[in-house]
Amino acid sequence: MTIRWMLPMLGLALAGLLVFAPSNAAEKGDMVSAELGKEVPNFALKDTFGKEFKLSEFKGKTIVLEWVNQGCPVSKGAHKKKIMQDTYAKYAGKEVIWLGIDTTAGAQPEKNRVYAAEMGIAFPILHDTDGKVGRMFGAKTTPHMFVIDKSGKLAYTGAIDDQGKTNYVAAALDDLLAGRTVGTPKTDPYGCSVKYPKD
């Protein structure tokens, strides 16, 4: 009787392990970092209107991520000069997706909604309220730019430009759209430090 009783219990225990194993794996997967030359982990964030955007929904397209903070004079200065907006507009018709991401502690969607309207920003600004996506990418500054190629791999990380003539993001996009490897895949980002939410 004891053996007959233990076998079903053992089966239930094994089933429980099978049920929980994928969940734990998924949780560990969420902590994977985005690395240059490797496939970027999926993430989901909501924009200033509450609409959810998933990275996976843009599969097969080139994606630009821009870390923003309207309280940062460098990030705001780039928007005032229309550097981001003009670069976005240049490639918008070439299946290039541009997403702003705000990881700033206490950032408010309604304020970013107004800011986007004032600055003429046509691309979505997503809110990384717990800082997980920023930490996943290792975002250091506002702005900090990332370009993901059509295969979902991180192809560029760094600054928008050299604060002079060279627009690194535009150069990376030109290379990718021409089927070339990005000539300068990494540069040092500049700007204000990302003000991450506290854990």
Print pLDDT tens along the chain (199 aa).
444 433 343 343 333 333 333 333 333 344 589 999 999 999 999 999 999 999 999 999 999 999 999 999 999 999 999 999 999 999 999 999 999 999 999 999 999 999 999 999 999 999 999 999 999 999 999 999 999 999 999 999 999 999 989 999 999 999 999 999 999 999 999 999 999 998 5
- Closest by CA position to 47, among listed 124, 142, 143: 124
Amino acid identity for residue 58 in this structure: F
- CA 70, chain centre distance (Å): 17
* pTM reported for the whole predicted model: 0.84
CA distance 15 to 157: 43
Q: Residue 102: its pLDDT value, please?
A: 98
CA atoms within 13 A on the CB side of 118: 10
For the chain, the C-alpha Rg in angstroms (whole number) is 21
CB burial class (10 A; 0-12, 13-18, 19+) of residue 174? middle
Report pLDDT for 32.
83
Q: What distance in Å separates the CA atoms of residue 141 and residue 90, rounded to the nearest whole number?
A: 24
Using CA atoms, how far residue 194 sits from 76, 101, 165, 172, in Å, is 14, 11, 25, 23
pLDDT at 31: 58
Rounded Cα gap, residues 22 and 64, in angstroms: 30
